Amino acid sequence: MRPKLMMPKSAKGGGRNRSAKKAERYSVPITVQLAVRLKLAARGRAVDAPLLLQSDGSVWDNNPGQNYHRQVDKVVTAIRLDPAEVTMYCLRHSSIVRMLLRNVPIRLVASLHNTSVAMIEKHYSRFITEHSVDDIARVGLLSEIAAADDNVIAMVR
């Protein structure tokens, strides 16, 4: 089983076709465990009903960020972090960084996060090279194995 979610596009950039963009969806892979949980949560509901509901069972309105940020702030405070610094957007950032550090192609990372390669490079390049360049570059280094004779050393990758 290779489950996926169809996510709505953000319709960034506005313009004349903003409503058409909002109707577009893109496929995002999810874990089998999450798929099972979502299937259980959706049991008994219409196929076009919202998948995620608030804790009281009500649907999120057109601007869910106005509602869920208070609950997220409570969780962040409970783990002794600052809600002004640790936001829901941090989940997106950590997902992007995790994928880049695992060598997922940048174009795929951009597509899965509904952004562009240029925006990822602009915002993440300096951090990624700081944390991963050593491990990634080390794979391409030559290493000494044995001396072939006095002035020649056999190298392998």
- Using a cut of 0.85, tell me whether the model's pTM lies above it: no
pLDDT of residue 100: 87
82 closest CA partner among 72, 92, 91 = 72
pLDDT of residue 132: 60
42-45: which pairs have CB atoms within 8 A and are 24 or more residues apart?
Answer: none
User: Using CA atoms, how far apart are residues 143 and 112, in angstroms rounded to an integer?
Assistant: 37
Read off the pLDDT band of 8 (50, 70, 90). Answer: confident
**pLDDT tops 60 at residue 148:** no
Choice between 29 and 138, residue whose per-residue pLDDT is larger? 29
Interval 69-124: pLDDT, tens: 888 888 899 999 999 999 888 888 889 988 988 888 999 999 888 889 999 999 88
